[in-house]
Amino acid sequence: MAKKKSSSQEDLVEAESDLGHQKLVRSQQQLIICRNKHWRYISAFHGPWLQLPPEVIETLANINYNTPRPRPIDPAVFFDLVKIRRLVDEAIDLAVRAASGVASLSQQSIPGLHHAAALGLGFGFRPGNQAKLSPERKHRMRKDATHKLCKAYKLDEVACSVSTMQSASALEEVASLVLQRSPDDSDAKYVHFFHEKIPSRQLAECTSLQPLDEAIHENPSDPEPLRTRGIVKIFKEDFQGAVADFTDALRVHRLRRPTHRYAGKEAEAEQQVAQRTARRTEDVVLKEEEQPSSLETQLLFQRAGVYLTMACQHVDAAFPDGSPQVPEPDSDGDQTSPPLSPEVLEARQHVRQNAKRALRDYMTYLSHFEYSPDLPLDIAEDFARKVNSIANGVRVPRHTTKSASPAGNDERTTQKPHRIYVLSDLFAPSPPQDLPPYPITDLASLQAHQPPPPVLSPVITETLTYHPLLADALHALLLCHCLIQTSAKELLRHAYMVARLARLADGYPAFQASRSPARADWVEVLRAGGNWIQLAGAWDDLCAPAPVPVLHPNGSSPLHHLQHQPPQSKPALPSLDTTGSEVSTELKELPSPFPFPVPVETEKQRKDRLHHQIVLDALGDERVSDEPSFRQAVLARQLRAEHDYQLANAVAELRAQITSGVVAGQPQQPQQPQQQQQQQQQLLLLPANDHDNEDDDGSSLEGAIGDLDIDGQKVTSDGNGGVVARAQGNGNGGGPGRHELEKEYPVGSDRALAVARWVLDAPPNAGIVPGDGKKRRKRTVKKVAAPAAAAPGGEAEKV
């Protein structure tokens, strides 16, 4: 017996040691990365600017600045990219030389050496026979590199983080090496804060604010450390402290910024006049101290996001006992709402007030960018031609000329000035009334079988000023309107305006398209709310990129522009699937706008495409931290995608039955041609609803159509010639398996779930303080940029 006990004890000890060893191995396998790799919106700053040579980026920035407004890319961001690339490249050179112990990285001794070898990235680089550097010389070189990195991080810490991620490994250790000999170096402390290695996804637990507090104390007139500390406080969920830091940074920045909004305004006005009269003029090349700064837009965007997060945090507390408020009958039989506790009323006030503050900051952020509905296509073609010349190594002359006329002559005629609007004006209570319609839902235009005739006169195009965070700010604007309970009609107008602008934002030639968390949240809110604002199509369809202009083969002038035939290029038809997986059957019956056959997607191609998109979405989920959570995220999205696909097919089949006039074997009543056309228009353009709809009037079609049950949703007629998908039972729109999984692992983020709950359950005028309307009427009207009136210089003036 003693031997058996001893053997069992030995097995237990061995099992415990194995378990401890596994934990040790798991802890050793934990990913350790630099702190700046945790920064949000990093994907928004990816693009060709990271690979292009610095001199090419500088040339593109000058071309962008000298392009007539609205400029393709925000000049402040573009100039910051130029300075960041130059500073980071110089810092890499110094850090690699200090690490290699050589005075210069000459490539003359090795013919055909790869250019990346000069940065210490391999490729057989050998420094050759050079004198070794002294420790003091290495320290000075590293200190100089740290100073350059500090300037780059102060310009834009997100863009600088993206640039340093692709640099040599010697750059990550340069600040810590400087601090070993100079512990009080403020620049080294600031850079080391970004480059310090911490466990992945543990920034809040492994980050101390002491280095930033010391930097703010040593340089109280610098707003950049305040910005950085505010971002770190967001990770630590200290939102009040983050708002305070961003507010202080804005105050300090506005005190020290230059008084002019645009440097070289007189030269810019001269360039605009030359553009209209085809007179040659020299391009403006701004000095570094004259270039605009993007710091204010960074601070406004960050503070607006914090306000929106604070509003969403109070949503759960805004309902009694965590449930929606249900009216109760009183003694007279009338429905009255039960009294609310002071805590619930206060939570509702916090939701509305913080949402209004976020909306204010987003509107101020949008006031820095411009939009034009009728930019002459010659201007866009001239910008594209210059960019292509730079990409091909062709030197672009430093003057601006008007493109040749379509007829081929050089007749210098005065061109009508195009209109320019500040983006915030497009979301004002009284927006401009002369914008081109969007989306176009006229079915008559869908019957054109011939391509549009060639247009030999100059045509126009829509364009806007791009910013890497613009798409996220536009969709966050819609979330704010949901929280302040903007009417469905007004919210529909804002949504169409966001879709109009989102389809024009492409970031060419510096940035590439990126994921937008706010856009994903907005799609989830639309889904949960059953498209209560009645959008005319799926959001991905409405935000599809605008068609590219078609030019003459010689590139002298446009032949025609597909953008002004939106129904022929991409009709805005309704869709249930927010992921874009639905292929509507009505599209097959419409005339194709393309001169070539469009391939039909097979079932395998559809599944492969969906799987690829689902994996990308799951990888972008912030809650995914290990393999089990990744598998759970993928499974939840797969179940949702299959549900959407089945539901879309059922809706398409039912619409086809209604369109053909045969519904459940019963012929429809004869209709007048005009009435039939209106019914068909409602059928094709009425969005399918995936939420419980209480406005059904129970017309004759309701009983004539056999209901279809797809995974817990009943597909039936809405009584108006359209189709609606109704959730059965609890109204969550899913079968038991999918519903239980979504409860355990919701696809949407916490912000999306909070906004959706507020849209569905909050009573009207929730959070309005009594007498708040009087206070608003007494307040003075805030000055915003006026709608663009054609100024004498051919452009709108900003306030």
- For residue range 774-791, list pLDDT tens digits in order: 444 444 434 334 333 333
Question: What integer pLDDT is reported at residue 283 of this predicted model?
Answer: 81
The chain-wide mean pLDDT, for the chain, equals 74
Question: What integer pLDDT is reported at residue 619 of this predicted model?
Answer: 82
Nearest to 176 by CA among 160, 191, 186, 157: 191
* String of DSSP letters for 244-291: HHHHHHHHHHHHHS-S-SSTTHHHHHHHHHHHHHT--EEPP---GGGS
- For residue range 264-304, list pLDDT tens digits in order: 444 455 445 445 544 456 788 999 999 999 999 999 999 99
Question: What integer pLDDT is reported at residue 340 of this predicted model?
Answer: 83
- For residue range 497-525, list pLDDT tens digits in order: 999 999 999 899 999 988 899 999 999 99
Question: What integer pLDDT is reported at residue 565 of this predicted model?
Answer: 36
Number of Cβ within 10 Å of residue 390's Cβ equals 19
Q: How would you class 112 by CB atoms within 10 Å of its CB: exposed for 0-12, middle for 13-18, buried for 19 or more?
A: exposed
- For residue range 114-160, list pLDDT tens digits in order: 444 444 444 444 555 667 889 999 999 999 999 999 999 999 999 99
Q: Within 13 A of 668's CA, how many CA atoms are on the CB side? A: 20
- % the chain with pLDDT above 70: 62
If you average pLDDT over each of 204-213, 448-457, 547-556, 671-680, which comes out highest?
Answer: 204-213
> CA-to-CA distance for 54 and 91, rounded, in angstroms?
14
Question: What integer pLDDT is reported at residue 323 of this predicted model?
Answer: 56
Question: What integer pLDDT is reported at residue 104 of this predicted model?
Answer: 76
> CA-to-CA distance for 491 and 456, rounded, in angstroms?
39
Q: Within 13 A of 406's CA, how many CA atoms are on the CB side? A: 15
- For residue range 310-328, list pLDDT tens digits in order: 999 999 999 987 555 555 5
If you average pLDDT over each of 16-30, 140-154, 644-658, which comes out highest?
Answer: 140-154
Predicted confidence band at 258 (pLDDT cuts at 50, 70, 90)? low
Nearest to 317 by CA among 761, 768, 764: 761
Ramachandran sector of residue 280 (left: φ over 0; alpha: ψ -120 to 50; beta: rest) = beta
Q: Name which residue leads in pLDDT, 698 or 714.
A: 714
Of the listed ranges 105-119, 639-653, 751-765, the least confidently predicted one is 105-119
* String of DSSP letters for 429-459: SS--S-SPPSS---GGGGG--SPPPP--S--
The residue with tokens 């030639």 is 509
Question: What integer pLDDT is reported at residue 514 of this predicted model?
Answer: 84
Question: What integer pLDDT is reported at residue 327 of this predicted model?
Answer: 57
pTM for this predicted structure: 0.76
Question: What integer pLDDT is reported at residue 700 of this predicted model?
Answer: 34
**At residue 468, does pLDDT exceed 60?**
yes
Question: What integer pLDDT is reported at residue 548 of this predicted model?
Answer: 63
Which tokens hold the place of 134?
A: 């002294």
**At residue 376, does pLDDT exceed 60?**
yes
Residue 645 near residue 639 (C-beta atoms within 8 A)? no
**At residue 262, does pLDDT exceed 90?**
no
- % the chain with pLDDT above 90: 44
Residue 581 near residue 644 (C-beta atoms within 8 A)? yes
Question: What integer pLDDT is reported at residue 309 of this predicted model?
Answer: 97
Nearest to 649 by CA among 584, 721, 741, 711: 584
Helix 736-744, helix 627-660: angle, nearest 10: 140
Question: What integer pLDDT is reported at residue 330 of this predicted model?
Answer: 54
- For residue range 169-222, list pLDDT tens digits in order: 889 999 999 999 999 999 999 999 999 999 988 899 999 999 999 999 999 999
Q: Which long-range contacts (CB under 8 A, 24 or more apart) does 439-442 make?
A: 439/496, 439/499, 439/536, 439/537, 439/542, 439/566, 439/572, 440/566, 440/567, 440/572, 441/536, 441/567, 441/572, 441/681, 441/685, 442/567
**At residue 750, does pLDDT exceed 70?**
yes
Question: What integer pLDDT is reported at residue 600 of this predicted model?
Answer: 79
The residue with tokens 């091909």 is 392
Question: What integer pLDDT is reported at residue 9 of this predicted model?
Answer: 53
Residue 381 near residue 549 (C-beta atoms within 8 A)? yes
Residue 550 near residue 559 (C-beta atoms within 8 A)? yes
Question: What integer pLDDT is reported at residue 5 of this predicted model?
Answer: 45
Predicted confidence band at 162 (pLDDT cuts at 50, 70, 90)? very high
Residue 170 near residue 99 (C-beta atoms within 8 A)? yes
**At residue 308, does pLDDT exceed 90?**
yes
User: In the beta sheet, which residues pair with residue 376?
Assistant: 460
CA torsion sign, 374 to 378 to 384 to 387?
negative
> CA-to-CA distance for 624 and 617, rounded, in angstroms?
10
Q: How far is CA 526 from the centre of its chain?
A: 17
